[in-house]
Structure 1
Amino acid sequence: MAAAAASPTREIPGAVQARGTVAVSLGDSFISGEGGRWQGNAPIKETVDTDMWGTDRARVDCSGGSCKKVPYSVYGVSYQDPDTGKFNGCHRSDVAEIKSAALGVDRQVNYACSGAVTDDVLPARAGGRWFKGEHPQTDQLRDLAQQWNVKLVQLSVSGNDLGFSSIIKSCITEYIKGAAGSYCSKKWDAKLKEQLAGEVPRKVKAAVGEIRKTMREEGYGDGDYVFALQSYPSPIPESGSYRFPQSYASIRSDRYLIGGCPFWDKDTDWARSAVVPGIAAMLRQVARDEHIGYLDLQDAFNGHGVCDKAARQPTKDNTLNNPVPARDAEWMRFLSWGLVYPQGQEEESFHPNSYGQKALGKCLSEFYSQAQGSQQPMFTCLNTPGQGEEGMHLRALG
């Protein structure tokens, strides 16, 4: 990271150093913990009184004479959007990356929120907006920094600015059309490249700059805490690594009905070789330009993506007490909405599940440890085949 900079408003107070220490996450659903309700993917209909072959971590409540699931046991109050009353809130899970990481601080705080874009991170003075009943995230950070000694700010943002969920939905739609479908890559490739080259990196830089400015105003030098951007893990493998073949009878194919990964091979390879790396390259360049840290996650789930032949789904013999082991499981949520096997919330689809979030937490733990004393820490996080979260490790980026 850059050398410590003096605050433009006052000297760094000794009181900051004397406070309890805290680490905080900002940004979108990939760091908020959306998808953390689940561990693995079971191709069965959702039930209110079972753990879904050991995949559903939501508590079962049968106290009122009829059973119901309690997702609040995983997401807390962040499960519901207070503005709409609908169950599509910030989805901050109990195993979110910032919560599952071992950071050696007194408190670990999650301000990230499902659906957030860069405007939701900016402070109000810079055009930031209220989102799902909460102040702009940088304003929440300011309040935290006044009471606690901030040691880590981890930021995941840009996916929603790029319309990543719309790209996913477009790819799914084209596959479900079967022989009548086209390729979503043809529709989105040029637009995505244009956004990655201009508008979106400018927005991310603005968010980074406002976070830095806010921390300086609260008496922090740039070297007093670790500040890093992170990229996104790929939700799906390359087409050659699918367990199920593509099919022009797509709505009846195993790739759709069982795997929950309804994508054409061509679109899959485009996403894996262009979309995910393109976003990662853009974020890495922003981190370089802004002199902050960077954690590359694009290959973190290799062998554990949805429908990856190196992973497997649970069976009816699995339970929460005997789940499919993390070393064998998919770490991403499959398509969990639509005509077949709707489970939980649509927004949870293609987000890290509890296994994936704990793996990312291990990445963050290692990153924070390695970042101490570094001017500009830049690492990629990888998994070890045959191991779970314990096998996550870093490799320095050149």
Structure 2
Amino acid sequence: MKQRALWSAVLVAGLALAGCGSASESNSPSGGSTGKLVVWDWKSGDATAASYIEKAKADFAKKHSGVTVEFVAQPFEQYYTLLGGAIQAGKGPDVMLFNGGGQIRDRADSLLPLDEYVGADRQRLAGWDAFAKDSKTYAAPVTLQGHPIYYNKALYKQAGLDPERPATTWDEFVSNCAAITKATKAKCFAQGNKEGIGIQFFLSGLGSGILTAQEYDDWIAGKRNWNSPNVKRVFSLWKEVNDKGLNNEGANSTAMFNDAFAVFQSAKASHVIGLMSDIGHWKDFAEFLEADNVGVMKSPVVTAGTTPSVPYDGGIGYAVAKWTKDPKVAADLVRSLTSTDALKAFYADAGAIAADTTIDVSSAGPAVATIVSETKAGKPALHVALSSKTIELMGRLSQQLISGSVTVDKAVTQLAASDKTG
């Protein structure tokens, strides 16, 4: 009860902050804007994002010097609950941060389409599709997010394997893992599924090596055949990997953030399906393993004839609330938050793979070079195409698959029903 009361107090406080007034056009001779814009996110409180926020605010001030911008950093664990309360009340922040995919699409009715405001940014930024619904764009991408398979080159060397030639087939991959475990005692995968998140990484990280190109495209387009043998193979392989001891012990009781990543960083596992940006990514891993020891590979081929790729989408992006008083001013703030100078700072300090395709990343090391080069042929991440409702169900079922309390067929039947109802 105390925890619930605490979050209720936080929500009320947040709404009070957001209710301080949107920016609006003034009647001053200069024709400028006055007032305040309130931004909700979970990034602005991070030390690594400080330079990014300052650059964005400075860019915005050049256009709207009379408008104050206030960032309210919310805890990510409760972010969408708090945001849901604000949306239900019909008031709250003017600008808000979203993950791409189901989280923003489920709330699109409360957001302002940005298509008329983004202009030339369309060409400079990548990842727009993750923030679109029914041919309308609801946020501008800040980062690209995807799920590369990272591997520890030092462990490969200790096992007598060539670290520059990771496996291209599943059988070869499992064989390499066995050799590494024998030589170093390191498990094959660092896996954390306490939150039910591990299955999302697994689906998107390995999916391009399991689904045919047509199945993959159909999945993204919403024409998902859950009874396909290859779709079922995703979930049977998920169980098989754990049953055969390829994961670290206690995957269902290990938090993805940050315990599973710590298993990889401490060289207790040779591989992890991580992120491109934010956390559990190349910059984090390089601090522990050294940049030259961080490898990136595509999914090995599980189904013959597939063409593996590194999946990616728009990672996070800023949207504008429908209730903001001056949409153009709020949209200008979004443009400042996605300006090249701001995103350069985010890349340099936080290790984000920025959505800005003009930023030079050539000095960041081999892992980043591989990630960026692979995005040219990468397809959207499979889990991002699912609704938040189906994602939550998949997380629960993934835990039951590992524990043995549900079969693959029953899990897939439930997922198909959830996907059908939205």
TM-score, with length taken from structure 1: 0.27
The higher radius of gyration belongs to 2
TM-score, with length taken from structure 2: 0.26
